[in-house]
Amino acid sequence: MAQIISGKEVSQRVRERIKLEASELFEKTGKKPGLAVIIVGEDPASQVYVRNKAKGCEEVGFHSEVYRLPEDTKMEELLALIEKLNNDCNIHGILCQLPLPKHLDETEVILAINPNKDVDAFHPVNTGKIMIGNYSFLPCTPAGVMELIASTGVDVAGKECVVVGRSNIVGKPQAMLLLQKNGTVTICHSKTKNLKETTKRADILVVAVGRANFITGDMIKDGAIVVDVGINRNEEGKLVGDVHFESAEKVASYITPVPGGVGPMTITMLLQNTLTAAKEQIK
């Protein structure tokens, strides 16, 4: 039976360290790390995320600002706000909550954020730095996954690592981070043949496809670490991951639950990125 990797516990430990470092920064410089979050429209899930981000900032002693813009905000207005925040020395991190309303160009918005304040690590400059291993910020979810794996005490070096999913936000950067820790990495996707054969080789399996219960216990190697990034609602309306937890738990050595696994780590790693940005900019 697998040991549960508690995202809540790991997240709390990381937040305590962030809070301490933010306090030390304030003592030395009189400045707090500052995060600005922009949200356009009334998407309910985005509203919850934004509230949680503001709450996280308060918990670790950061300065935070939330800009709530109406659904019909014009591109020029949004870009003008980003430019204002780029030039604000009290704001070290800028995040524009995605998805945006359809009339706004997400790519243009990402490009408008100063790469030094891009705490989501979506700007091409930052994604390029991740590719060559010379980065300041990491995308929050893959960074959180790496913290969860590290919490098991298992060394990634030399392990067979399989990432199921190839999104720009999770799958691709996740593969690069595992590679940088000297894992041997395979990325699977919708065109992969014999998926089960590949996932069954994995010592470390990270699943991020957005399909409920997609990976079952018979697709997992005995003793594997299984990290489930997915969050879906099944037919009964219950939150479930991309991994069928009950069957996977019997095979894996460590497994993340849904909810309570990767989820709590994402905002925590955003706070870590903001702290890193503040240290670099204040320096």
Tell me the catalytic residues.
53, 97, 120
Q: What is the mean pLDDT of residues 254-279?
A: 97
Q: Residue 234: what pLDDT?
A: 85
Q: Residue 122: what pLDDT?
A: 95
Q: Residue 100: what pLDDT?
A: 95
**Domains, the chain, ordered by start:** 29-114 (3.40.50.10860), 140-263 (3.40.50.720)
pLDDT (tens digit, 9 = 90+) per residue, 3-59?
999 999 999 999 999 999 999 999 999 999 999 999 999 888 888 889 999 999 999
pLDDT (tens digit, 9 = 90+) per residue, 135-178?
999 999 999 999 999 999 999 999 999 999 999 999 999 999 99
Q: What pTM was computed for the model?
A: 0.94
Q: Residue 94: what pLDDT?
A: 98
Between CA 19 and CA 12 the distance in angstroms is 10
pLDDT (tens digit, 9 = 90+) per residue, 176-197?
999 999 999 999 999 999 999 9
- Give residue for tokens 């962030």: 18
pLDDT (tens digit, 9 = 90+) per residue, 229-264?
999 988 888 899 999 999 999 999 999 999 999 999
Q: Residue 46: what pLDDT?
A: 87
Q: Residue 49: what pLDDT?
A: 87
Beta bridge partners of 226: 205, 255
Q: Residue 264: what pLDDT?
A: 93
Q: What is the mean pLDDT of residues 210-217?
A: 96
| Residue 52 backbone zone (phi > 0: left; psi -120 to 50: alpha; other: beta) | alpha
What's 214-234 look like in SS3?
CECHHHCCCCCEEEECCCEEC
The mean-pLDDT minimum among 77-81, 132-136, 218-222, 241-245 falls in: 132-136
Instruction: Indicate if the pLDDT at residue 283 is higher than 90.
Output: no
Say how many Å lie between the first and final Cα of the chain, rounded: 48
DSSP class per residue in 174-211:
HHHHHHHTT-EEEEE-TT-SSHHHHHTT-SEEEE-S--
Angle between helices 7-29 and 140-151 (to 10 degrees): 110
CB 18 within 8 A of CB 60: yes
Q: How confident is the model at residue 266 (pLDDT cuts 50, 70, 90)?
A: very high
How far is residue 48 from each of residues 52, 58, 267, measured CA to CA in Å? 6, 16, 12
